[in-house]
Amino acid sequence: MCTLKHDSKISSNQMELALLKDRDLLKEIIDQNNQRAFKVFFDRYYSRLINFSIYFVKSHENAEDVVEEVFLKFLKMGKDILTIESVKSYLYRMTRNISIDYVSSHKKNRHITLMENIEDYQFPEESSPSSLIESNEFENYVNKIVESFPPKRKVIFSLSRDELLSYAEISSLLKISQKTVESHMRIALKTLRTAITDYDASLQTTTRKFNFKNSL
């Protein structure tokens, strides 16, 4: 069972720590044994790593076990973690490897597929008016489209959009070629462009009907 607890609430005493970069937080944890710093660092990555691990282990409960092990192994490295160039990439790589080990150790006959990545996307201006982008309705619509992606494409999209990982970083993380990453990105963006264009057309039709009704 998972013993580490995630709490999204940050007290006023933690606000200053929350503004620190990963390396500075880790210095507080390693050098000062600062438990508040650990809480901020843990909360910063916990949900992200859970969502990433779920792709491999297929359940939230299993992912919790994986992420607990990730944090424990990571902190056992001691001062060596201060030499890591990209903490975020390192944590994702650890989560991937431990997730795969978890599946293997539990003898689940499942083929673990690796996915591709996408660069940070920008919606084309012609199909994504700023008024739509800013609306909760539009954001919910886009999120539903992303949720409908195949599992591997959804994870790739999340790593690119939410975690801001580059093509090269995701290619390295998932052990796939950069060309494969680019190919999946093109498919994802094409799907989004089509969906957004349809949404825009639907909205304009609804607006015209509303204006016509009010003119009667």
Domains of the chain: 12-105 (1.10.1740), 125-215 (1.10.10.10)
**Angle, CA 18 vertex, CA 12 and CA 19 arms, to 5°:** 115
H-helix or E-strand spanning residue 170: helix 167-174
Question: 172 is written with which tokens?
Answer: 């390295």
Angle formed by the axes of helices 35-57 and 60-76, to 10°? 130
**HSE-up (13 A, CA, CB side) for residue 170:** 30
Q: What is the DSSP letter of 113?
A: -
Along the 216 residues of the chain, how does pLDDT read in single tens digits? 445 555 545 455 667 878 888 999 999 999 888 888 899 999 999 999 998 998 888 889 999 999 999 999 999 999 999 999 889 989 999 999 999 888 888 754 433 332 333 333 343 343 344 444 445 677 777 888 888 888 888 888 878 877 778 888 888 888 888 888 888 888 988 888 888 787 767 766 654 444 434 445
